[in-house]
Structure 1
Amino acid sequence: KDFGGEVATSGEIGNWPGDGMTDGITLTDKFKKHLEQYKVDIEEGIYVEKITKQEDGTFCISTQKGNGIGMAADKMPDGKPDSLKCDYIAKAVIVATGVHPRELGIPGEKEFRNKGVSYCSTCDMPLFTGKTVTVIGGGNSALESALMGVDIAKKVYVINKNAFFKGDDVLIKKLTSQPKDKVEIFYETGTKEFVGDKFITGAKYTDKEGKEFELKTDGIMVHIGMVPNSDIVPDNVEKNPFGEIKVNIRCETNVPGLYAAGDVSDVPFKQIVIAAGQGCTATLSAVQYLNSR
């Protein structure tokens, strides 16, 4: 759908071998230019809706656009008239769809998305230079977002539903040592509603005693975790309780010919370099699978 995925929205990246310190946009651009050196068809802006394994062992890839955009647009999976159209047919598929930000699911969230509510601090924090910004979350992403706000915003509120942060100690110490007139932290606080007019103006919260209060703000950064983009795989593909696709050391799923790589899989550590390594593993496994048929 979008080239680069979550990597493109990353800020500073210091763990990509050979590059020292870089950023998500620069690294994504390098990836794309490298890919373009090969004879590979790149189709952007296409949202895959479902992958279905057919009786002949091939995979039907149905997209949201459909209507003839792919090489097999008129073929129906298994000949069923109520099935999705196959826009692409493949003998093997590698799912490297990554993750997307988890939403709070509260009133006003969808209405004010991109109207003051953001899930990407690297993209949108600069919009609130000299203003008041609220960061919701308690992990590393929230901590990094709040520290970014310290350098940019006039005031930073941090809303943590837990009694403590769950990120790296160095980030926690750096944030909690900020003066209170710059950073104000609310622990054991739940976010109930986003409010505003054309744009966000504030949010309603409840403290650990159930008392409701409202904080005025110019922008809100939501960082409460990520959700794997795994809904597109066949229904019989095994996943863990978090929705991540289960793979073995070869990046194989329980469905022959279907592979998963990167953050969408159940790999324990979510790092760019690990995702790249899994991509290589999945590709070699897929080639071996195809050569054996």
Structure 2
Amino acid sequence: MLDLLIIGGSAASTAAGIYAARRGLNFKIITKEFGGEVATSGEIGNYPGTGMTDGIKLADQFKEHLKLYKADPEEGIEVAKITKQEDGTFAVAAKKDGADISYQAKAVIVATGVHPRELSIPGEKEFRNKGVSYCTTCDGPLFSGRVTTVVGGGNSALEAGLMLADIAQKVYVINKNAAFKGDDVLIKNLSLKSKDKVEIIYEAQTMEIIGEQFVTGIKYKDKDGNEKEVKTDGIFVHIGMIPNSGIVPDNVEKNPFGEIKVNVKCETNIPGLYAAGDVTDVPFKQIVIAAGQGTTATLSAVEYLNRLQ
């Protein structure tokens, strides 16, 4: 029986694991793949103490920090469901390499993050990994010297546009709104790019992704309702995220977006079950905030475990 099981593999779970190790808990960190959304981020300049870095480097630093405490995350674990048992402990059903496995713990921290929201238009699923991508950091370099399209209007779309502007022949940015909703510095930097290099299409509703073996274009309706098409080799979708909250017990309180509701101590409405990072209803989705929540969740779990004794 573990004292604490931490589910997730990014900033929140790293901080939770460091504090669990320092408190001498019997714990594990399990995740499908370490890195999370941090690893897919481009340039990062707002995480204290790291200066200018990138997502892959920061994720590697997280893993190295855990190694200092012999708290290496167990990867390749797909969690199916968390159940609170009659004795107050938790059973966690999971799979590894297709085989059923389970964990038992007195307390659990859910730090499972988010996954990309899809456009839900014809052609999207058919051309996934055939020109459609949800990670510009991962797949952008494959489109060096080619025509690319970014769909979205927030920070991640702006960052994608900036990255592709440095390597692609041409970048279209399709924004359904009349203006971007990201940081001013990103909006300014994208606007400074050559108009021949970056073309922004506002108030456009994506309709269909087209192609043969690979993507060849994307159709959209402009603000006047006219259907148009952009010829493109790659489409990078950045329209928001969906929380990975389906594994928690059915009676865990969530907001209308599916985010797990937590209080200032990262407690859910179920004693012994905590949540941290982007999977929660914390208003600002930032790496440093996720790390702080991971710390808070472990310290709250320590208080809970002490009361059990």
Same fold, TM-score > 0.5, yes or no: yes
Alignment of 1:1-293 (within 5 A): 1-40=32-71, 42-65=73-96, 70=101, 87-293=102-308
Alpha-carbon distance in 2 for matches of 1:254, 1:219: 43
Alpha-carbon distance in 2 for matches of 1:173, 1:32: 34
Alpha-carbon distance in 2 for matches of 1:178, 1:141: 17
Alpha-carbon distance in 2 for matches of 1:36, 1:168: 35
Deviations along 1:44-79, one digit per CA (max 9) or x if unpaired, are 111111111122211121114497654xxxxxxxxx
Deviations along 1:64-112, one digit per CA (max 9) or x if unpaired, are 4497654xxxxxxxxxxxxxxxx11111100000111111111111111
Identical aligned residues as a percent: 75
**Relative to total residues, which structure has the larger strand share, 1 or 2?**
2
Alpha-carbon distance in 1 for matches of 2:287, 2:271: 26
TM (normalized to structure 2)? 0.86
Tell me by how many angstroms 1:142 deviates.
0.7
Tell me by how many angstroms 1:185 deviates.
1.4
Tell me by how many angstroms 1:260 deviates.
0.4
Unaligned runs of 5+ in 1: 71-86
Q: Cα gap change, 1:66/1:90 in structure 2, threshold over 3 Å: closer, same or farther?
A: farther
Between 234-243 and 130-139, report the one with greater CA deviation.
234-243
Alpha-carbon distance in 2 for matches of 1:28, 1:280: 17
Which amino acid in structure 2 is aligned with residue 15 of structure 1?
Answer: N
Deviations along 1:236-280, one digit per CA (max 9) or x if unpaired, are 111112211111111100000000011111111211111111111
Alpha-carbon distance in 2 for matches of 1:41, 1:21: 26
**What residue in structure 2 maps to residue 84 of structure 1?**
none
C-alpha RMSD of the superposition: 1.6
Q: Cα gap change, 1:66/1:141 in structure 2, threshold over 3 Å: closer, same or farther?
A: closer
Deviations along 1:192-247, one digit per CA (max 9) or x if unpaired, are 11111121111111112222121110101100011111111111111112211111
Between 160-169 and 131-140, report the one with greater CA deviation.
160-169
Which amino acid in structure 1 is aligned with residue 206 of structure 2?
Answer: T
Q: SS of the counterpart of 2:153?
A: coil
Count of matched residue pairs:
277
Which amino acid in structure 1 is aligned with residue 152 of structure 2?
Answer: G
Which amino acid in structure 1 is aligned with residue 188 of structure 2?
Answer: K
Alpha-carbon distance in 1 for matches of 2:213, 2:75: 32
Which amino acid in structure 2 is aligned with residue 196 of structure 1?
Answer: G
Alpha-carbon distance in 2 for matches of 1:90, 1:67: 22
Q: Decide whether the 8 Å contact of 2:93 with 2:100 is kept in 1.
A: no
Q: Cα gap change, 1:3/1:67 in structure 2, threshold over 3 Å: closer, same or farther?
A: closer
Which amino acid in structure 1 is aligned with residue 217 of structure 2?
Answer: G
Which amino acid in structure 2 is aligned with residue 180 of structure 1?
Answer: K
Which amino acid in structure 2 is aligned with residue 237 of structure 1?
Answer: V
**What residue in structure 2 maps to residue 75 of structure 1?**
none
TM (normalized to structure 1)? 0.90
